[in-house]
Structure 1
Amino acid sequence: MSYVSHYPSFDVMKEQDEWDDHTQTIVTSRLNLKISYHFLTAAETEILRLICSILVNDQRPEVLDFILSHIDQTLHQSPGESQRKANVPHAAALVRSGLQAIDQGARMTYNSSFSDLDTQRQIQYLERISESLAEPQDAWRNIPQEDLFKKLMQLTVEAYCSHPSVWSEIGYAGPAYPRGYVRTGLGQLDPWEAQPER
């Protein structure tokens, strides 16, 4: 992370005894991953790791492993999408064809694979995709660039904000069930919640 946490000594996992067994199992599994991809190929994983790292500005391997595992599981199980434009492919097809287009477009534009570009050019190319301005058009035929960017952002951020290390950094003390919150007034904190240190 490029920023400094307001809760540097807070560790959400010290609260796990207050969670029910099911919640403990889910949260601790995020720290003890058994990585096995069912949808993503090795080449897709390499590109996606770089993209996710840029989107959340975080290079920690354990966090990126969790994000990739979450994305892979989501695309493999295909739980459905609440809303999708009529001309946008379903998530699995959009991400697969999109990652291929990203690499092909980088090769045609920069004469280099996306993975071999320096970070600044990777960021610039992703910014163009977010605005549907990535070239060349041959690489992006039938792939809605902005929708691809939004889907990658959504999948990345929902996983990132589910990781216990990130919870600790933002001062989130984890699920309140079954303990519950007592102090609910503005500015009030329960004793078990993170206390700002900066």
Structure 2
Amino acid sequence: MREEYAARVRGEAIPKQHVETFLSTVAPRGAGNCATSHDAAAQARRHRQQRRWATQVIVTDELARHACAERGLAPPDDVLPMHLLTIPETDVADLGSIIAAALAHSPAARALLADLEREQHIPETAVRDYYDRNRDRFLAPDALRRGVDPFNTVEPSDIHPYEHVRDGIAQQLRHAAARRAFFDWLDRAKADVVYAEGHEHPGDPSQPDHEHRH
């Protein structure tokens, strides 16, 4: 008999219907759109990949809930919402569509990411090094209009002083470090997840129609 679950997370079953309901209300990002009504096989492949994508988003939410409980974080107010939220294109590009969607739809995933960000310590040397290597990002508006080259001789007023931008740089680096920590956590957390046939990761190389993009 075919399994009625899409995946098992720590022994707990995620019903297939949960995935189909989520998929019916949320448009997967990055999914192909070349299938037409005249190509049933292409439509079936596309829906299979969308189903795998949706399974990954839901699994990530479930794993994040366990992680929040283990960390003593306040439980999210609601279950993974079954409605469409806007996912910034920059997040899809930076994180991949699965994690970007999970963070958009899962309060638990966002709570975990915020907790990871609080754990990140950015050395002062790293902050200063970022400032020195990216001086073009800290040009004053007038210097930008004049086309000043920040890596040659500049006037002190051409570049925002380190003391004025230091906190913003540290926050940016902390945010990036937290995202890397989230990726590492998710890779470890997914190790014991069991997937039903047809719900494997869309990038699983053991599947004949796997896709590398997430």
Q: Which has the larger radius of gyration?
A: 2
TM-score, normalised by the number of residues in structure 2: 0.30
TM-score, normalised by the number of residues in structure 1: 0.31
The structure with higher relative contact order (CA 8 Å, sep 6+) is 1
Which structure shows the bigger proportion of residues in strand conformation? 2
